[in-house]
Each structure stands twice: as C-alpha cells, then as structure tokens.
Amino acid sequence: MNPKSEDTGRLGAVGDSGWLHGVERIPSPNHDPRPEGETISLLVIHAISLPPGKFDGTAVADFFTNRLDPTAHPYFATIADRRVSTHFFIRRDGHLIQFVSCLERAWHAGVSCWQGRTRCNDFSLGVELEGDDLTPFSLAQYVTLNALIAALRARFQLRGCVGHADIAPGRKTDPGPHFEWSRIVRLDVE
C-alpha cells in the first residue's frame, strides 16, 4: 500500500478534524471544502473494483490518490485522468480505509439528486465497497459498514442511506443487485 498510509488501530469515533480514529488513512488530494453552513445528512454507498471484477491490490487506492498507472491495465487508460475520491473504502476482508476527512467534500457522487436536492457531494459522505454488480459482498464488509454507520451517526445527523444508483439513476448501478440492504442499519427518512 502507500508508504504514507497511517494505520491508527481500532475503529473509534470521528475526531474534530473529521478523521475516524482507528482506521488506515490514505489522504486523497481530490476534495474541497463543503459549502459554508452545509450539514452532512446523507450516506451514499458505492461499489468499485479495479480493474472491473478484480479485487485486492492497490488500484482503487491509487485511483483515489491520482497514482493509477494507465499502462498497468487497458481499462486504467480510460480512467487514469479522472479526479475522484471517497471518504471511506471497505475491502473484501472488512479492512477500512479513509481517504478524505468527513468535514471535506469528497468527489464521489457526480451529477446527483436526493429528495429534490442536487449536488449530493455537498451534503453526503461516500462509502465505497470493494465489489461489483456480479458478486455478493462479504460478511466482513457488512460488519465494518455497520460499525462505520454507528460511528458516523454518533457524530452527524444522517437522515438517509442510499446507493449511488438511487441518486444517479440511469447513470450508475452501484452498489448493485447483490447488496443486501436488510443487512445494514437503515437511516430511513420519514
């Protein structure tokens, strides 16, 4: 992994700087300030594998930190110039990595809309699961995701938890048909 990664031990609370205590940190340059006065109210669940259908390796972390080698795989050449990020990434074994402070705007949602509000990056946190539309997610990922949701709810007034497909229908399909919503704590809005 990145030699500058910081493994801070056990999963803990979100600190004043917006970093979750006890998780590996690999800071991404792909973020900016949230609009002034904006509150975090939405959790967006994504799925990613790089190259598509392949798990493990450093490609996802390299992608979120602008270090993806476009010559390492033909697919990488088509995405290497994109500048995207997420707050959190959960590997197949449940390992959690944070790329962007929760207080900053990560670039994960793109063109999006939730409950009539556009620009979901402004008020959401992004969680990428290592996966795709064809493969069920692991028990370890659900365990980590639920622990993460609990930590985030303790700090932020989350009102919803949706998939990327829910805020970008027709453009995105993740987390995909194999994501079992019943296995996570939902943050349904009345």
The verdict on whether omega for the bond into residue 33 sits within 30 degrees of 0, i.e. cis, is no
pLDDT tens digits for range 61-81: 999 999 999 999 999 999 999
Which of 128, 130, 180, 190 is an active site residue? 128
111 in a structural domain: yes
CB neighbourhood size of 133 (10 A): 16
pLDDT tens digits for range 108-163: 999 999 999 999 999 999 999 999 999 999 999 999 999 999 999 999 999 999 99
Structural domains in the chain (count): 1
Q: What is the mean pLDDT of residues 34-54?
A: 97
User: Is 128 one of the annotated active-site residues of the chain?
Assistant: yes
188 in a structural domain: no
Percentage of residues in the chain having pLDDT higher than 70: 92
189 in a structural domain: no
- CATH number, domain of 61, equals 3.40.80.10
Contact (CB, 8 A) for 98 and 21: no
136 in a structural domain: yes
Pairing label, strands 31-33, 104-106: antiparallel
pLDDT of amino acid 128: 98
pLDDT tens digits for range 81-93: 999 999 999 999 9
pLDDT tens digits for range 1-35: 333 333 333 478 999 999 999 999 999 999 999 99
Q: For residue 172, give its domain range.
A: 6-183
185 pLDDT higher than 80: no
Residue from 96, 90, 93, 122 nearest 108 by CA: 122
